Structure 1
């Protein structure tokens, strides 16, 4: 059965979110499942580490913070924007080559708008850099038949162990894959165990580059230094620990607020914990500037 995340305010349950969860133990065996985890889901940006590995396999030469930025759904903080421009400059390009939509950054201290501020611009810059390395066309780099996208799809199918039953267009314009949660968790585990391309190490070592300084997934990775977490839109999140324990969660109605509660529960079910993680387990509801409730998983 699906999990139920309750939003409790002043002792009253005012909202409920249904969710799927799947975890794998260190040997890759399913440890806990809730909901229709075998059905195709849309992981959205949670697929970016897999896309980044596809680019690395195709010759992308990035490491450290910039490789983490290639996996990012970033907040548009100044260091994110500078990093995107650095990736582009390294390929002899500027932000006019980006084909992601223009956007405002999440960082409210920045009021500029443009493609470089869009949260997926790190991935797009890395895609363009990969095209330059291979002398592939730049204008059409987002089209499914493009050599870049074919290489990425092959990597996604290999790591998930699934042929894509369907594909679409993500919010940034890049191809979007639909896979099972088991496939996503399996792929994240492979990234952790193999260490291929340095993707796992880059994300967990530089969480603020993959996300943002004050984002919940950054806090999760800082709470467990051996952990990689990647968020996706519409309530998706996937993770892997350095020893191969892994998992994925999906909030059925797409509510982002339930993701951290579910991810902490998934980590705890695998025996992963720390004092910092215990603090993140309590997601508070506020009224008048003070805590008046919390998010919790229904005990049944």
Structure 2
């Protein structure tokens, strides 16, 4: 298909992050989380910005829906639960392991063909059970195994090399790199290696939000729509039971959301409104309430976001404070930017 030329790459610099969340205790600010936030209108224009939304950053697993779009365009025949799993960062529950095995079976492959890093399950409770059972780390349990299995399946279908599928020069990774630039609208600033071993592309926070918006608002019949439909229909397959991103998608009708390590989050609505968040210190306790506040700024009913409010800080077994967005992120308290 024809792809328009992307704009120049975002600048590689120390991001100009600003306070985005306060940790309060007894009515006083005890700690501050810095970061950056962008909110896009349905037309892709910036409705709200805080911090540095144009510097290059690593989206980590928040980029997985874009990777999945590239794979579907290249012929990946998965849908529903298995496509959601291929787009996700799973908790290592039995349904996730079974789904990954199923993708490998469809490809005529086994866990030994995976090239992701062996690990214990991501979910703490599942991991504890795994360790108590003296089960060693495995490639299947690692949270990106669904994506890796899908990559292998696509390579098998297209006759591409299997052992080198993580090489940036591999046909699969070249396809993904092109779609990353297309959907973010910018050239990739830098390529590194993600925790699971796949190529990792540095993009701007604004570009990441734009990519999420384009997937969430895509028309039926497109690869983007198939990915969005799978994630919306089976959010727990892309994450896990009780995971905050799944809770958020269940709470807000039509929402498409994906988190990533180091405090990255995207969320987008079917009309193209979208948000992207980066927490500088990678703290999930700030990522969740900041994302909820950004969605409220995008026009989502705050009542739908109640389960994503900031976690409490405790003292003597009692609630004495909370992690909460800075006033600039609270609609009734902020002054509109010039």
TMscore range, shorter length: over 0.9
Are 2:50 and 1:34 aligned?
yes
**Which residue does 1:275 correspond to in 2?**
303
Please tell me whether the aligned partners of residues 238 and 247 of structure 1 are also in contact (alpha carbons under 8 angstroms): yes
Rounded to whole Å, the distance in 1 between the matches of 2:85 and 2:25 is: 37
Compared CA separation, residues 288 and 52, structure 1 to 2 (3 A): farther
Aligned length: 300
Contiguous gaps of at least 5 residues in structure 1: none
Are 2:106 and 1:90 aligned?
yes
**Which residue does 2:138 correspond to in 1?**
114
Please tell me whether the aligned partners of residues 223 and 274 of structure 1 are also in contact (alpha carbons under 8 angstroms): no
**Which residue does 2:333 correspond to in 1?**
none
Larger Rg belongs to: 2
Report deviation, 1:274. 5.2
Q: Please, which moves more after superposition, 190-199 or 23-32?
A: 190-199
Rounded to whole Å, the distance in 1 between the matches of 2:321 and 2:245 is: 22
Alignment of 1:181-260 (within 5 A): 181-195=205-219, 196-197=222-223, 198-260=226-288
Q: Deviations over 1:40-95 (max 9, x none)?
A: 11110000000001111111010001111011111101101110101111110111
Are 2:20 and 1:4 aligned?
yes
Are 2:172 and 1:144 aligned?
no
Report deviation, 1:290. 4.1
Runs of 4 or more consecutive aligned structure 1 residues displaced over 6 Å after TM superposition: none
Contiguous gaps of at least 5 residues in structure 2: 1-16, 329-338
Rounded to whole Å, the distance in 2 between the matches of 1:133 and 1:47 is: 23
Compared CA separation, residues 8 and 62, structure 1 to 2 (3 A): same
Aligned mate of 1:262, from 290, 294, 297: 290
Q: Deviations over 1:172-205 (max 9, x none)?
A: 0000000001111111111112143200111122
Are 2:74 and 1:58 aligned?
yes
Rounded to whole Å, the distance in 2 between the matches of 1:124 and 1:159 is: 21
Rounded to whole Å, the distance in 2 between the matches of 1:43 and 1:77 is: 24
Rounded to whole Å, the distance in 2 between the matches of 1:23 and 1:225 is: 18
Please tell me whether the aligned partners of residues 19 and 32 of structure 2 are also in contact (alpha carbons under 8 angstroms): no
Q: Please, which moves more after superposition, 277-286 or 99-108?
A: 277-286
Report deviation, 1:288. 5.0
Please tell me whether the aligned partners of residues 185 and 238 of structure 1 are also in contact (alpha carbons under 8 angstroms): yes
Report deviation, 1:4. 2.7
TM-score, L = length of structure 2: 0.85
Structural RMSD (CA):
1.4
Rounded to whole Å, the distance in 2 between the matches of 1:217 and 1:248 is: 13
TM-score, L = length of structure 1: 0.96
SS at match of 1:115: coil
Please tell me whether the aligned partners of residues 157 and 164 of structure 1 are also in contact (alpha carbons under 8 angstroms): yes
